[in-house]
Amino acid sequence: MRLPMSLAAALLAATAAHAQDLRPLCPDRPGLDTPACTVDQGHLIVESGLADWSLDRDPSQRTDSFTFGELLLRYGITSNTEVQLGWTALGTVRTHDRIAGTVTHGSGVGDTTLAVRHNLSHPDGSGFAAAIMPYASLPTGGATIGAGDWGAGLVVPLSYSLNDTLSLSLTPEVDAAVDSDRYGRHLAYGSAAGISATLAKSLTSALEFQAIRDEDAAGHATQALASLSFAWQPRSNLQFDIGAVAGLNHASPDAELYMGIARRF
């Protein structure tokens, strides 16, 4: 009996030591910025937007959009490189035409996003961390929340830890965004920037801003957004989050509220 018990104890000790060797949990959620950190090699982070509501109003209509089951899978293939797969299980859109007095509804699944993130400095996100992340979106979604054509882009996440409490982030990007008529692509570019703070041992908050210039053939526009988010990590492999986004100009959606979860395996 002593041998099996000794083996079990050794296995538990090795598992605990391996868990201690893992980097701090660093999900993409929440907020507007993209972190420069990558998933530990051989591990998987599953991130899910449990519920998301956004509001967009103008003098002629009001649009309420809801998404449920927004999924992001991140897997570490090396110590500083990960691959990603994103998909939205369900999206619904309710549009109220204020002039005609009509209400229309639509629902469907979202597009699929594939990405690779390669960290160039500090894959745990400490100090000055930098990464590059090319991505592509595939038109697997329906007409309600799908773009209708493929898109692609490059994101360059950057962050700098000022101290144990405060850190700065910057996420410039350039995109081949899908045209509003759902055929072809156009240039879009911009950046998010923010500051995050550790409020308690397991609670962090981030204040972020984003500006994106969209040069769609149907009309050029610049979206400006502000975001406040909170993330709580009750355990080393688990995070819950909530957040709010506000549009800062007429070209941006008015408001967004969301909540989600992330789990490392």
**Residue boundaries of the structural domains of the chain:** 25-264
Tens of pLDDT, residue by residue over 55-74, are: 999 989 999 999 999 999 99
Beta-carbon contacts of 100 under 8 Å, excluding residues fewer than 6 positions away, are none
Beta-carbon contacts of 159 under 8 Å, excluding residues fewer than 6 positions away, are 33, 35, 36, 125, 128, 129, 130, 167, 168, 169, 170
Q: Within 10 A of 165 (CB to CB), how many other CB atoms are there?
A: 11
Beta-carbon contacts of 51 under 8 Å, excluding residues fewer than 6 positions away, are 66, 67, 68, 258, 259
Beta-carbon contacts of 264 under 8 Å, excluding residues fewer than 6 positions away, are 22, 25, 39, 43, 44, 45, 46, 237, 238
What is the Cα–Cα distance from 245 to 253, expressed in whole angstroms?
Answer: 9
Hey, CA dihedral for 251, 254, 260, 262, is it positive or negative? positive
Phi/psi at 207 (nearest 5 deg)? -115, 120
- Residue 6 clears pLDDT 70, i.e. is over it: no
Domain 25-264's class? mainly beta
Q: Within 10 A of 93 (CB to CB), how many other CB atoms are there?
A: 19
- Residue 5 clears pLDDT 60, i.e. is over it: no
Tens of pLDDT, residue by residue over 185-228, are: 999 999 999 999 999 989 999 999 999 999 999 999 999 999 99
Q: With beta carbons less than 8 A apart as the criterion, state whether 109 and 146 touch.
A: yes
Reported in sequence order, the residue ranges of the chain that DSSP labels E, i.e. its strands, are 44-57, 61-76, 81-97, 102-108, 112-121, 128-138, 151-155, 158-161, 166-178, 185-200, 203-216, 219-235, 238-247, 255-264
- For the whole prediction, is pTM greater than 0.85? yes
* Per-residue model confidence (pLDDT) at position 20: 56
- Residue 2 clears pLDDT 80, i.e. is over it: no
What is the Cα–Cα distance from 186 to 177, expressed in whole angstroms?
Answer: 5
What is the Cα–Cα distance from 231 to 84, expressed in whole angstroms?
Answer: 21
- Residue 19 clears pLDDT 60, i.e. is over it: no
What is the chain's mean pLDDT, rounded?
92
What is the Cα–Cα distance from 233 to 263, expressed in whole angstroms?
Answer: 10
Query: What is the pLDDT averaged over residues 37-66?
Result: 96
* Per-residue model confidence (pLDDT) at position 237: 97
What are the angstrom distances between the C-alpha of 260 and each of 46, 69, 88, 142, 191? 11, 9, 13, 23, 23
The partner residues of 107 in beta bridges, in order of sequence, read 92
Preceding omega of 30 cis (within 30 degrees of 0): yes
